[in-house]
Amino acid sequence: MTRLTPLHPADLQAGLAAGHYRIVDVRERDEFARVHIADAISLPLSGWDRAPFDPASGRQPVFMCRSGARTAGACDRLAARVSGDAFVLEGGLDAWLRAGLPVVRDRKAPIELMRQVQIAAGTLILLGVLLGWIVAPIWFGLAAFVGAGLVFAGVTGFCGMARLLLHAPWNRRPAV
């Protein structure tokens, strides 16, 4: 079975310039849309087993995520689809950025959906607690409701708040 070899950002950049590597970004599409390394392909882990995968012929795949944690956790799944040498960007996009290497940014793209959920849930919980102390204890129920929703999302994989946020105006794609 193929093993994923860690690759330092500077080594990846040199290999990209020489045409040796093809970057496979396993972050979700909304994360990729906001910032990614030029010429990377987006193949999110959430659909990895169903997605066709064929890095450009003659180039070795380099898998990457935001920090390296997702690729580390999915090494076996990623390596199973590769015959030959394959690599993982050590430290992910965060390390690439720390090294001062170039990226493609779309500041008009909305922030990642999970960050939106974290912001909304955290705000609602904080609001429920503050209103519970200041106005009436019944407001603690708001914090409890959102907390229960987060537990439900973690257990089932279904996040109702994420589904709602997908329909927010800032998350809608303009008609082409």
- 43, 65, 78, 95: the catalytic one is 65
Percent pLDDT > 90 in the chain is: 50
The pLDDT value given to residue 168: 83
**pLDDT given at position 176:** 47
Buried b (16+ CB within 10 A) or exposed e, 95-114: bbbeeebeeeeeeebbebbe
**Residue 75 bears catalytic tag:** no
pLDDT in tens, 137-173: 999 999 999 999 999 998 988 888 988 888 888 877 6
The tens digit of pLDDT for each residue in 24-73 reads: 999 988 889 889 999 899 998 888 878 777 766 678 899 999 998 888 88
User: pLDDT category, 83, cuts 50, 70, 90?
Assistant: confident
As a CATH number, domain 4-105 is 3.40.250.10
Which pLDDT value is given to residue 165?
Answer: 86
Distance CA 83, CA 130 (A): 56
Question: What's this model's pTM, rounded to 2 decimal places?
Answer: 0.72
